[in-house]
Amino acid sequence: MEKIVITGTGTVNPIGLNVIQSWTNAVNGVSGVGPITLFDSTDFLVKIACEVKGFDPTNYMDFKEARRRDRVELLATAAAKEAIEQSGLEISEANSARIGVIVSSAIGGMKSLQDAIFALKDEGARRISPFAIPMLMPNGSSGLIAIDYGIKGPSFSIASACASGADGIGMAWLMLRAGIIDVAIAGATEATICQIGVGAFDRIGAMTRKNDDYSMTPAPFDKNRDGLVMGEGAAVLVMETESHAKARGAIILAELAGYGSTADAYHVTAPEINGSGGASAIISALNSAGVNPEAVGYISAHGTGTMLNDLAETKAIKSAFGKQAYKVPVSSTKSMTGHMMGATGALEAIFCVQVVREGILPPTIHYKTPDPECDLDYVPNQAKEKKVDIAISNAFGFGGHNAVLVVRKYQ
């Protein structure tokens, strides 16, 4: 089976407006947490988030077009631009039908949906924006990227909660292996930091409320962890068959070697506490890559900072890796970026590309008090140098969706 390789990466997220800035900040343990500025949170119990800072959409398109896109689409546009430019991919009428766009989102344009509801309630149906539907639909980002570049192959979005990004990349991997397309623009985007997004996630009981002292939150795997911090952003990869990449002289960054997807079939929000669903996704991904657990040098954890998720993921890793679980470093970059919902899995896949290329493991920051039940090597607070040939990225979502990607150093 032909290798599927990664030739471009792009991101806009709470710790960087491009891959280099994001990776540098991740390695240095820079936190993206701060007070919410995207709306007035005075009457909210949660007043902190991981927002994308300094983002100007007119750096990527004209002002008129930017007004017609939801923030979730603007972030995706920026990430896709960086990834495509890095890959050196030239898109033309001749190859456009052999390129696919799979940029996923768990929710889509939540802010635009909220604005439409507010307009309907306050001023009536005639005040709803005529751009409301294309701004709120979850497949809007994929459609707009295809339009921007004249891409005429398959274009769609996958919604599997916080596994959306990893599932979108995994679906692209499957389509490339099947010969349906030669190139995929794949990743995810999310922008849920608005009144409904923050308010609804807080009502689930998943979010920290350390508004006044947020210097040590979120704290994945720490004994005193008390919830996630909502993030936003986008991450996109350019993936292609090895033969296609070589034929056009592309620089190959890494190989996407495997993908596994399972369901807990347990609860609409809580994970199966024994981690069985996550473990089966890890095993499936490793099997698809032809990789033994002993060969894995790093695990990018889902690691949200919630009590149940971190415990279930630790058990999943132990179940899948056995005694090897205590030998492989595990870290959660969500401790820095916050939880970007469906987009986080795509960003963490990019971080795995950086890990196998540079031999540096990003830390889990805010780790202070070990939890006896979460007793693996979480790379606490400081980055670690380690040669890694194979890294895996876990993405586990509400509804029991589990997706795992295997990234291998390109040989």
**Is residue 339 flagged as an active site residue?**
yes
**Does 329 sit behind a cis peptide bond, omega within 30 degrees of 0 on the bond before it?**
no
Is the model's pLDDT at 61 over the cut of 90?
Answer: yes
Predicted TM-score (pTM) of this structure: 0.97
Q: What is the DSSP letter of 250?
A: P
Which among 93, 91, 51, 83 is positioned nearest to 346, based on CA atoms? 83
Predicted local confidence at residue 232, as pLDDT: 98
Is the model's pLDDT at 220 over the cut of 90?
Answer: yes
Q: What is the DSSP letter of 226?
A: -
Angle at 99 between CA 95 and CA 104, to 5 degrees: 160
- Of 50, 194, 244, 302, which one is the catalytic site residue? 302
pLDDT in tens, 287-304: 999 999 999 999 999 999
If you count DSSP H runs as helices and E runs as strands, how many of each does the chain have, helices first? 13, 14
Angle at 198 between CA 106 and CA 70, to 5 degrees: 55
pLDDT in tens, 372-396: 999 999 999 999 999 999 999 999 9
Which among 152, 8, 144, 168 is positioned nearest to 73, based on CA atoms? 144
Angle at 143 between CA 142 and CA 144, to 5 degrees: 95
**Does 218 sit behind a cis peptide bond, omega within 30 degrees of 0 on the bond before it?**
yes
User: In degrees rounded to 5, what are phi and psi of residue 263?
Assistant: -130, 140
Contact 23, 351 (CB under 8 A): yes
- Of 50, 162, 194, 374, which one is the catalytic site residue? 162
Give the SS3 label for residue 13.
strand
Looking at residues 212-241, what average pLDDT do you find? 97
**Is residue 374 flagged as an active site residue?**
no
C-alpha 176/C-alpha 174 separation (Å) is: 5
**Is residue 366 flagged as an active site residue?**
no
Contact 154, 180 (CB under 8 A): yes
In the chain, the N- to C-terminal Cα span, in Å, equals 15
Looking at residues 43-59, what average pLDDT do you find? 97
pLDDT in tens, 74-127: 999 999 999 999 999 999 999 999 999 999 999 999 999 999 999 999 999 999
Predicted local confidence at residue 247, as pLDDT: 98
Looking at residues 258-263, what average pLDDT do you find? 98
Looking at residues 321-347, what average pLDDT do you find? 98
**Which residue ranges form the domains of the chain, and what is each CATH number?**
4-247 (3.40.47.10), 258-408 (3.40.47.10)
Band the pLDDT of 16: cuts 50, 70, 90.
very high
Residues 6+ apart with CB under 8 A from 4: 173, 176, 177, 239, 240, 241, 242, 255, 256, 257
Beta bridge partners of 235: 11, 188
Band the pLDDT of 1: cuts 50, 70, 90.
confident
Is the model's pLDDT at 229 over the cut of 90?
Answer: yes
- Of 244, 339, 366, 401, which one is the catalytic site residue? 339
